[in-house]
Amino acid sequence: MNQTATFQGVGTKKEAREQIKLEFAQYLEQQPETSRIFHRWMKRFEWASLGIMLAVFIVAMVVSINWKNVPQISIPVAWFFYAASLTPTMLLVGLHAIVLRAVPPAILPNKTQKLVTGRKALWAGLGLILLGLIAGAFWGFMAYATWTLNWAMLIPLINILGITFGYGIAISILFSMIYKIFKSFQKNFKAR
């Protein structure tokens, strides 16, 4: 089986999603029974972690709505915990990819996906775990520093957040412009 498979010839996005699910199912059939059992359990754990994230979101909403009846500092802390609540899902998906040596397909709107297997899946899983740990630690520290009003911790964290979002937005806009220019040139070149 290929290390990566793309679906450029597939007509619609729905057909592409079905194709990648079929490709992943075929990959799983080639794996030993223990890997298939691991996959089923990891799917359950991932759904449970999404449930935890939903519960934390609901708590943050309730705290925000009841702003008159709760300590004011609990509102940002609840939202920081919500941001950190994605960490378990990222860790589980990363572990899932490492053990299976395949990145399980996810439903991402307006994104054509490809099945990633082998060494690339291992590195994607490790990267996802590392990113999850960094994000969880950052938002956890942010929640702790906010709750304790520790300005010595808050000021550098706020600076990191501002710089990251600033550069992230600028780079995103730049890549979007370059992508649109490239697509325009590509479309004009094909028309000739």
Judge whether 27 and 102 are in contact, CB under 8 Å: yes
CA atoms within 13 A on the CB side of 63: 19
The answer, yes or no, to whether residue 7 has pLDDT greater than 90, is no
Checking if the pLDDT of 171 tops 90, the result is yes
Quick one: pLDDT at residue 184? Answer: 86
Q: Which two tokens stand for residue 192?
A: 């000739």
- What whole-number distance in Å separates Cα of residue 43 and Cα of residue 150? 39
End-to-end Cα distance, the chain: 37
**pLDDT band with cut points at 50, 70 and 90 for residue 187:** confident
Q: Which residue has the higher pLDDT, 89 or 16?
A: 89
Q: Which of 4-18, 108-122, 148-162 has the highest mean pLDDT?
A: 148-162
Looking at this protein, which amino acid is placed at residue 76?
P
In the chain, alpha helices (H): 13-29, 33-65, 74-84, 87-100, 119-148, 151-191
The first and second tokens of residue 1, run together, are 């089986």
**Residue 66, helix vs strand vs coil:** coil
Mean pLDDT of the chain: 88
If one compares 10 and 106, the residue with the highest pLDDT of the two is 106
Q: How many CB atoms lie within 10 A of CB 44?
A: 11
Query: In the chain, where are the structural domains located?
Result: 4-149, 151-192
Window from 15-19, 65-69, 157-161, 166-170 with minimum mean pLDDT: 15-19
Is there a contact between 96 and 125 (Cβ–Cβ < 8 Å)?
Answer: yes
User: How many CA atoms within 13 Å lie on the side-chain side of 121?
Assistant: 23
Q: Taking residues 101-126, what's their average pLDDT?
A: 81
Please choose, from the candidates 30, 31, 8, 32, the residue with its C-alpha nearest in 3D space to the C-alpha of residue 20: 8
At 108, the pLDDT band (50, 70, 90 cuts) reads low
